Amino acid sequence: METTASILGFVAAFCTTVSFIPQALRVIKTKHTKDLSLAMYSMFNIGILLWLLYGIVIVSWPMILANGITFLLTSTILYLKIRYK
């Protein structure tokens, strides 16, 4: 049962994390961030950071990996949103 839960966690983590790659690449390439919500990305980054910390506390590798990578991607988007504002 634990293996099934871990596999499910890794697959879910992969899907949600990879979903930010196209947005990050587009923002990096075009430097266009006008249509992105600063409030949304700010709150989302805080939430992802908290999920990452929670994953570290409970030693959940799917949570740690997914939220660590997602935090890097969304932080990049947030940084560029602020920079190109």
42, 54 contact by CB (below 8 A): no
Average pLDDT for 45-71: 94
The per-residue pLDDT for 13 is 85
The per-residue pLDDT for 61 is 84
- This prediction has a pTM of 0.83
Taking the mean position of all CA atoms in its chain, how far away is CA 43? 12
- CA dist 43 and 32 (Å) reads 20
- CA dist 53 and 64 (Å) reads 8
Q: Quick check: 19 pLDDT over 80?
A: yes
Range 2-83 classified under CATH 1.20.1280.290: yes
Mean pLDDT score of the chain: 91
The per-residue pLDDT for 68 is 95
Q: Domain boundaries in the chain?
A: 2-83
33, 80 contact by CB (below 8 A): yes
Picking from 71, 77, 73, the residue whose alpha carbon sits closest to that of residue 47 is 71
Average pLDDT for 28-53: 94
Average pLDDT for 48-76: 93
